[in-house]
Amino acid sequence: MKSLLIRTSLLAMALSTSAMAAEVDKKTAGTEAETPTASAKPEAAAKAEGQQQKPAQEEKKQTLKEALQGKEAQVIVTIGGAKFTVADFMKFLKTFPEGVYGLPAEEAYPVLLDRFKEMKTLTQAAERAKIKDSKPYQIELDIELAKFINAFTQKFFLDAEIKKEIAQNPQLLQKKYEEVKKAFEKTPQYEYALKMIVVKNKAEADKVLNDLKKGGDFKALAEKHSIDPQTKGEGGKIPGFTRAEDLPADLAAKVIAAKSGTIIQEIIALGDPKTGPLAIFGVDDKQKIEFPTFEQLKPELKKAIAPEVAVTVMKKLEKEFNTELFELDGKTPLKMPERKEGAATPAAEK
pLDDT band at 10 (very low <50, low <70, confident <90, very high): very low
* In the chain, % of residues over pLDDT 70: 80
pTM of the model: 0.55
Q: Examine the domain organization and report whether 111 and 223 are in the same domain.
A: no
Q: Examine the domain organization and report whether 251 and 302 are in the same domain.
A: no
Per the domain annotation, does 212 fall within a domain?
yes
Residue 336 in this model has a pLDDT that exceeds 90: no
pLDDT digits (tens, 9 = 90+) for 218-233: 999 999 999 998 899 8
DSSP 183-248: HHHHS--EEEEEEEEEESSHHHHHHHHHHHHTT--HHHHHHHH---HHHHTTTTBPSS-EEGGGS-
Q: Examine the domain organization and report whether 262 and 325 are in the same domain.
A: no
* 281 within 8 A of 263, measured Cβ to Cβ: yes
Number of structural domains, the chain? 3
Report the CATH number at residue 245.
Answer: 3.10.50.40
Q: Examine the domain organization and report whether 179 and 300 are in the same domain.
A: yes
Q: Examine the domain organization and report whether 177 and 195 are in the same domain.
A: no
Q: Examine the domain organization and report whether 21 and 92 are in the same domain.
A: yes
Bridge partners (DSSP) of residue 268 are: 279
Per the domain annotation, does 140 fall within a domain?
no
Per the domain annotation, does 240 fall within a domain?
yes
Tally of CB atoms within 10 A around 146:
10
pLDDT digits (tens, 9 = 90+) for 144-171: 999 999 999 999 999 999 999 999 999 9
Residues listed for the chain? 350
Per the domain annotation, does 144 fall within a domain?
no
Range of the domain at 227: 190-288
* 208 within 8 A of 269, measured Cβ to Cβ: no
Q: Examine the domain organization and report whether 251 and 171 are in the same domain.
A: no
pLDDT digits (tens, 9 = 90+) for 59-104: 578 999 999 999 999 999 999 899 999 999 999 999 999 889 999 9
Q: Examine the domain organization and report whether 219 and 88 are in the same domain.
A: no
Task: Report the pLDDT value the prediction gives residue 45, as an integer from 0 to 100.
Answer: 46
Q: Examine the domain organization and report whether 216 and 323 are in the same domain.
A: no
Q: Examine the domain organization and report whether 200 and 302 are in the same domain.
A: no
Per the domain annotation, does 61 fall within a domain?
yes
Q: Examine the domain organization and report whether 81 and 218 are in the same domain.
A: no
Instruction: Select from 247, 264, 288 the last residue of a domain.
Output: 288
- Euclidean distance between CA atoms 207 and 154, whole angstroms: 65
Q: Examine the domain organization and report whether 92 and 10 are in the same domain.
A: yes
Q: What average pLDDT does the segment 178-197 reach?
A: 91
